[in-house]
A and B are shown apart, each in its own frame.
Chain A
């Protein structure tokens, strides 16, 4: 508004004095005006009513500026204007237009003030609703926390129930195991007594009645005694097997090279000739030395036994290891077994060959499996009849079983 005023004053001064400097001031304002208007439009762009009012204001300003221009142009054309003409140009309709413009601008300002007031009230209202929202948010947060707490408590309860159930199962399992152990223990012991009597009384009979027995009588007695000895062996093996299950695994580092040499020396006392064992360097094992000794003893003795009918026995032990375990492998070129009966291989008192072919009670591999499983490892085998038998057993590296 002041700009239009300035433009008018400058024009008026120019018209009166014809001084070019006034004209320059007028031009400044004329070039500045569109900027000012667009600035105003930008500031009130959110208000439709103000937009219309600005349109009207612009029209008023444009009209007024055109009138001013016209005055200036006229002066430029004629070189001078009479004071009457100046008065007509600047006063009268010019003055009226200025008044209308000013009134319009004042209305706009009042409208803008009113809008400001409304906005302030709105902000205040928003502030109080924000407080409500914050309260509500806090409430929601607390509710969420409480429900999380409830869920955690519920989870803890579930876990406790599961824990109890696991403990119960473990206790039951321990009990069953204990019962089973004491069962096999007492069966073995109670079986020994009548067995001792069978063997002992056969012997007493033989001693006391030797002179009244013929060859057939002595043969029959011999069968009784051989059978009772055999049964004694079975009971001893069963006891050994049962004991193996109860003995705690006392794990430590075991030098398998030394252990294999030691076992091989013992196995070979029953070999027909000095038999070489092909052995690669074996990694250290983690386990119970006495128990692992038993496993090696059973596997190597089997290898010797089941290859004993070959003209050249080849027995070897090798090992491979990865990040988690060491796998030891015992291989022989013996009689082997039919893989169809593999599921019987590790069973107690299970045999895949007759007693006459290869003597044994069928407990050795069951013991080996039990020991390895108790170490947290696995034992498995592969074979081709009359060609080879390979036993593998794995032991985890440095873990408590």
Chain B
């Protein structure tokens, strides 16, 4: 990557460890490995974003890009998205859905609640690594993110 790379911190909310590991590996391919935090459900994601619970005293940076799985235990991705987009301090953070669902109603609901991008995880691994790497590269590196510190 180039020298004037914007500082990014990615929050990845993914309940499936294998999907999480593969996503991290795909992001690593484009040099995005050191500034990623992985949480395992929607509640953890909200705790991290709003410095609550286990993350009340976190030292890692505030997220500048959030990747959400849709189907997660406790609080699902759509609810996390709604909270982020209806809170003044977080509503400008780009949110990408990274999900297995290609169902139209899911896509529509996410856009209705202000999602910035919607990506369907391919089942086939070659395509999975390729597409997740591309998405990471575009959103974290090419795309200008507001309030990046």
A113 to B65, CA, bound (A): 126
A189 in contact with B19 given A196-B128, A229-B124, A232-B123 (CB within 8 Å): no
| CB atoms of B18 and A193 under 8 A apart | yes
Contact of A200 among B101, B102, B103, B128 (CB under 8 A): B128
Contact of A189 among B71, B122, B124, B126 (CB under 8 A): B71
| CB atoms of A196 and B125 under 8 A apart | yes
A194 to B16, CA, bound (A): 9
A200 to B20, CA, bound (A): 11
Contact of A197 among B22, B71, B101, B126 (CB under 8 A): B22
Q: Which of A37-45, A201-209, A326-334 contacts B (4 or more CB under 8 A)?
A: A201-209
Interface check B40, CB cutoff 8 A? no
Within 8 A of B (CB), among A180-201: 185, 189, 192-197, 199-201
A228 to B18, CA, bound (A): 15
Q: Which residue of chain B is the closest to A232 with respect to CB atoms?
A: B123
Which B residues touch A232, using CB under 8 A? 123-124
| CB atoms of B71 and A196 under 8 A apart | no
| CB atoms of A204 and B25 under 8 A apart | yes
Interface check B9, CB cutoff 8 A? no
| CB atoms of A193 and B22 under 8 A apart | no
| CB atoms of B22 and A200 under 8 A apart | yes
Q: Which residue of chain A is the closest to B16 with respect to CB atoms?
A: A193
| CB atoms of B25 and A196 under 8 A apart | no
Interface check B129, CB cutoff 8 A? yes
Within 8 A of B (CB), among A366-396: none
The minimal Cβ–Cβ distance linking B68 to chain A, given in whole angstroms, is 15
A202 in contact with B125 given A194-B18, A197-B22 (CB within 8 Å): yes
Interface check B83, CB cutoff 8 A? no
The minimal Cβ–Cβ distance linking A36 to chain B, given in whole angstroms, is 109
Q: Which residue of chain A is the closest to B99 with respect to CB atoms?
A: A189
Interface check B35, CB cutoff 8 A? no
Interface check B60, CB cutoff 8 A? no
Which B residues touch A228, using CB under 8 A? 123
A199 to B124, CA, bound (A): 7
Interface check B100, CB cutoff 8 A? yes
Interface check A235, CB cutoff 8 A? yes
The minimal Cβ–Cβ distance linking B67 to chain A, given in whole angstroms, is 16
| CB atoms of B125 and A203 under 8 A apart | yes
Within 8 A of A (CB), among B23-65: 25
| CB atoms of B123 and A196 under 8 A apart | yes
Which A residues touch B128, using CB under 8 A? 196, 199-200
| CB atoms of B125 and A235 under 8 A apart | no
Interface string of A262-302 (1 = CB under 8 A from B): 00000000000000000000000000000000000000000
Within 8 A of A (CB), among B2-19: 16, 18-19
The minimal Cβ–Cβ distance linking A228 to chain B, given in whole angstroms, is 8
The minimal Cβ–Cβ distance linking A104 to chain B, given in whole angstroms, is 115
| CB atoms of A196 and B18 under 8 A apart | yes
Q: Which residue of chain A is the closest to B101 with respect to CB atoms?
A: A189
A239 to B104, CA, bound (A): 13
A235 to B100, CA, bound (A): 12
| CB atoms of B129 and A196 under 8 A apart | no
The minimal Cβ–Cβ distance linking B110 to chain A, given in whole angstroms, is 16
| CB atoms of B19 and A196 under 8 A apart | yes
Within 8 A of B (CB), among A241-256: 243
Q: Which residue of chain A is the closest to B26 with respect to CB atoms?
A: A200
Which A residues touch B123, using CB under 8 A? 192, 195-196, 199, 228, 232, 235-236
A189 to B103, CA, bound (A): 11
Interface string of B94-107 (1 = CB under 8 A from A): 00000011110000
Within 8 A of A (CB), among B85-134: 100-103, 121-126, 128-129
Interface centre among A195, A200, A229 (most CB of B within 10 A): A200
| CB atoms of A197 and B124 under 8 A apart | no
A199 to B100, CA, bound (A): 15
* B contact set with A: CB distance below 8 Å: 16, 18-19, 22, 25, 71, 100-103, 121-126, 128-129
Can you spell out 10 A-B residue pairs with CB atoms less than 8 angstroms apart?
A185-B103, A192-B100, A192-B121, A193-B19, A196-B121, A196-B125, A197-B19, A200-B18, A200-B129, A229-B124
Nearest 3 A-B pairs (CB), nearest first? A197-B18, A232-B123, A200-B125
